[in-house]
Amino acid sequence: MWHANLIRLAFFVGIKNAANNSSRPDYFDNSILREVKCMKSQALFALVAFFATVLFSYGSASAQVVEKTKEVTSKTTKAVVDSTKKAASVTKDATTAAASKTKDVVTDSADKTTDVAKDTAGAGKSKSQSFGKNTVTVTENIAGQAYEGGKYLTVTTWDGTKWVSKQVWQPNKKQ
């Protein structure tokens, strides 16, 4: 549509120039000028319509770009969020599992420590003894917590491009 208006504008400019030309020939009478005036108002309308069309088209295109961008952004965001969620979820799962186990141990330990503490003062502390050249250090209590060691947990995370699993040493907490 705006192409047609552009053609009209070009035609109008050409006629107007011809009408204003002082060196116009005699056969160029007023009827022609009236016609030109009429065309002038039509052309003005066409010009406004053209700009309106251009503006509308631009606005429409912009809106489409925005929509597209929004869509892409949305998808990207969604993907990122999904990945992040997944990663977070896996990490959370692993962490939760670890935390759960740790919590389990800690809770039990706390309970047991209380019990043991009632029975034997100083429970959980290490005590060294020598038997000749043999040295033995004894650590008591402890609901699975005071002995050295721990567990390897497999933690899987999303590094942005792929899932990565690694073994993480989860030491048993000590009193």
Residues that bind another protein (CB under 8 A): 112, 128-129, 131-152, 167, 169, 172
Smallest gap from Cβ 134 to another protein, in A, equals: 5
The smaller minimum CB distance to another protein, of residues 3 and 133, is found at: 133
Q: Which is nearer to another protein, 95 or 139 (CB)?
A: 139
Q: How far is the CB of 163 from another protein (least distance, A)?
A: 20
CB of 151 to another protein, least distance (A): 7
Q: Which is nearer to another protein, 27 or 131 (CB)?
A: 131
Least gap, CB of 96 to another protein (angstroms): 19
Phi and psi at residue 168, in whole multiples of 5°? -115, 125
The token pair at 59 is 């606005």
CB of residue 153 to another protein, shortest distance in Å: 10
Measured from the CB atom, the residue of 79 and 99 that comes closer to another protein is: 99
Assign 3-class secondary structure to the chain.
CHHHHHHHHHHHHHHHHHHHCCCCCCCCCHHHHHHHHHHHHHHHHHHHHHHHHHHHHHHHHHHHHHHHHHHHHHHHHHHHHHHHHHHHHHHHHHHHHHHHHHHHHHHHHHHHHHHHHHHCCCCCCEEEEEECCEEEEEECCCCCCCCCCEEEEEEEEECCCCEEEEEEEEECCCC
Nearer to another protein, 37 or 125 (CB): 125
